[in-house]
Chain A
Amino acid sequence: MATTISTAPRRHFSWVWLGLTPFFLFAILFILLPSTSLFIDSFRDGQGNFTLANITGLTQSPIPESYWLSIRISAVTAIFGGILGFLLAYSRASGNLPRWLYPVTLTFAAVASNFAGVTLAFAFVNTLGRTGFVTAVLKGLGLDIYGFGFNLYSFLGLSLTYMYFQFPLMLLIMVPAIEGLKKEWREAAENLGASTFQYWLRVGFPLLLPSILATMLLLFGNAFGAYATAFALTGGRLNLITIQIGAQMRGDVLHNVNLGYAMALGMVLIMAVSLVGYTYLQRISERWLR
């Protein structure tokens, strides 16, 4: 034989992926195109020429302060919401509570983690606002929180409000994670003489840690992208980055829409970093918790 014929079966070009066309067409039109166009115009001036002015413009006041405020509020509510959510999930798993509370907890958490936006802001005004229910009750007990300088339309006030959807989300994700801990591990630890506390400290908690951190990153992103709650609560008085972008879109400030695009780009980058971290930690936790 002078010529060698490839014995490998010829790969037929397959058309089956065409079934995914509508999905990807949708994604390109309504996710990719809008975000990349913001991307591109972050590097353009009003006339369409290439420029880095918008990116460097991000360093001028009040933009860095806005990013920083958003990051702080997201981090604080992610950490405290994460801790409270985890403690609740842990208490639930400890098995010391009445039976009926178990399914109810999860439904409560699902409701609360979806109860965000305008309605949540109103609920907190009626609770911790100047004439709110809790404010009044505390005042009746001799504790005038506004007298102590508390203000709902502040960092602390918005954080308390965000916590309302943060800790239930943590609880919701931590419950299956804790239930994913194998009984054998606990039995093995107990056979070796470990107390409940030792088991949690040396086995349970370390196994859950990647999952806890991953979920906290999710909470971070959850708060970082929030606009409606903050807007309805503070009416734009608190200078979050989402509020800034909203003002930019309304044309209220700065009068440079390309700078607005750059601000949006910065947000997407921060969100992307937190999602990459989330995916990475989630992968580690999946090695153990299945």
Chain B
Amino acid sequence: MRKVAWVAWIIYIFGILYFVLPLFGTFIFSLQKSRGVLSLSAYQSAFADPKFLETFLFSNVMAVCTIIVSLLLVVPTAYWVQLRVPSWRPAVEFVTLLPFVIPAIVLVFGLIKTFGRPVTIFGVPVFPALTTSALSTDFLLVMAYVVLSLPYMYRAVDNGLRAMDVRVLTEAAQSLGAGWGTILWRIIIPNLRSALLSGALLTFAIVVGELTIATFLARPAFGPYLALLGNHKAYEPAALTIISFALTWLAMGLIDLVTRGSKRGPLTGAH
């Protein structure tokens, strides 16, 4: 028994070191901008760059849009599958797994190819090229992020729905005269609160700092900004890395808090 305990400890310490050392190294480095003393001047200088605020804000707006679209898409679908069309479950689940097969770089390649020119069906133009204006490219960016977050969002919502009796709740509401909108908004969603919040926070963690899609759609997002900053600065990127890490931790900590006690799905994002 004692031998097992020792081995468990050694493995654990190795794991903890692997996790902590890069963060510790980055943190120490981020404090060394002023020669000879530890200071927060790298943080000050990073925040003082107007580009930082601009891109960080942009990415946050994109994250919020992604969360809204994703919820509007996933919640009614998962609800409907659970309640009325369970035979479609395999098809829907298959679609939600597709983003695992299509890496972000391939997805953005395909999106640019498809929407970089006017979309036509049998020669009839359906809608114009989406990559021509900033707004329509942002739309495309949000759609791509919805695709990336789809597996996690769907799983979170589906787990939440399975944890309650959707049919009984729906029938009870209907017998009291509620319409579909009322049922979703006042019955289902309040019961899904923790599932929705964890799906949303996970999406947030995926989107803010995302590089691949934002780079190739040439949008001023935080990920590309940070990558560029890394090319010509040393201490500021370290400071922003620590900030991003703290935000990721905050998001995961909140998920932990809201889903405590319930069964958890894998909490992870795409790379």
Contact = CB atoms under 8 A, between A and B. Distances in A.
The answer to whether A and B interact is: yes
Interface residues of A, number: 88
B7 A91 contact: yes
A198 B164 CA distance: 40
Interface string A204-237: 0000000000000000011111111101100100
Interface stretch (A57-65, A183-191, A265-273): A265-273
A201 interface: no
Contacts of B256: 103, 106-107, 110
Given A30-B146, A88-B15, A123 B106 contact: no
A172 to B, nearest CB: 5
Interface in B68-85: 73-74, 76-77, 80-81, 84-85
Interface stretch (A3-11, A19-27, A47-55, A139-147): A19-27
Given A97-B9, A118-B230, A227 B211 contact: yes
Given A88-B15, A260-B109, A264-B109, A119 B244 contact: yes
Contact of B112 (A222, A223, A249): A249
A50 to B, nearest CB: 18
B21 A19 contact: no
Nearest to B180: A19
A267 B230 contact: no
Given A118-B209, A232-B227, A37 B114 contact: yes
Contacts of B147: 30-31
B159 interface: no
A264 B106 CA distance: 6
Given A19-B76, A19-B85, A127-B25, A165 B113 contact: no
A118 B223 contact: yes
A245 B7 CA distance: 43
Contacts of B85: 16-17, 19-20
A74 to B, nearest CB: 11
A102 to B, nearest CB: 11
Contacts of B28: 133
B119 to A, nearest CB: 8
Interface in A234-266: 235, 242, 245-246, 249, 260-261, 264
Contacts of A226: 103, 271
A36 B112 CA distance: 13
A139 B240 CA distance: 27
B77 to A, nearest CB: 4
Interface string A106-123: 111011111111111111
A158 interface: no
B102 A35 contact: yes
A133 B4 CA distance: 32
B47 interface: no
B100 A275 contact: yes
A196 interface: yes
A132 to B, nearest CB: 6
Residue among A23, A96, A108, A235 with the highest chain B CB neighbour number at 10 A: A23
Contacts of A173: 266
Residue among B8, B101, B115, B255 with the highest chain A CB neighbour number at 10 A: B101
A134 to B, nearest CB: 6
Contacts of B81: 20
A163 interface: yes
Contacts of A169: 266, 268
A46 interface: no
B65 interface: no
Contacts of B186: none
Contacts of B107: 31, 34-35
A19 B80 contact: yes
B252 interface: yes
Interface string A153-175: 00000000001110111011100
A94 B9 CA distance: 10
Nearest to A101: B12
A171 B15 CA distance: 10
Interface of A: 16-17, 19-20, 22-24, 26-27, 29-31, 33-35, 37-38, 41, 84, 87-88, 90-92, 94, 96-97, 101, 103, 106-108, 110-127, 132-134, 163-165, 167-169, 171-173, 176, 196, 221-229, 231-232, 235, 242, 245-246, 249, 260-261, 264, 267-268, 271-272, 275
7 contacts: A19-B84, A34-B115, A133-B21, A134-B21, A169-B268, A225-B271, A261-B113
Given A38-B109, A110-B252, A221-B101, 9 more contacts: A16-B80, A22-B77, A26-B73, A33-B114, A37-B114, A38-B106, A91-B9, A227-B103, A246-B105
Please list the 3 inter-chain residue pairs (A to B) with the smallest Cβ-Cβ separation, ordered nearest first: A34-B110, A225-B103, A133-B25
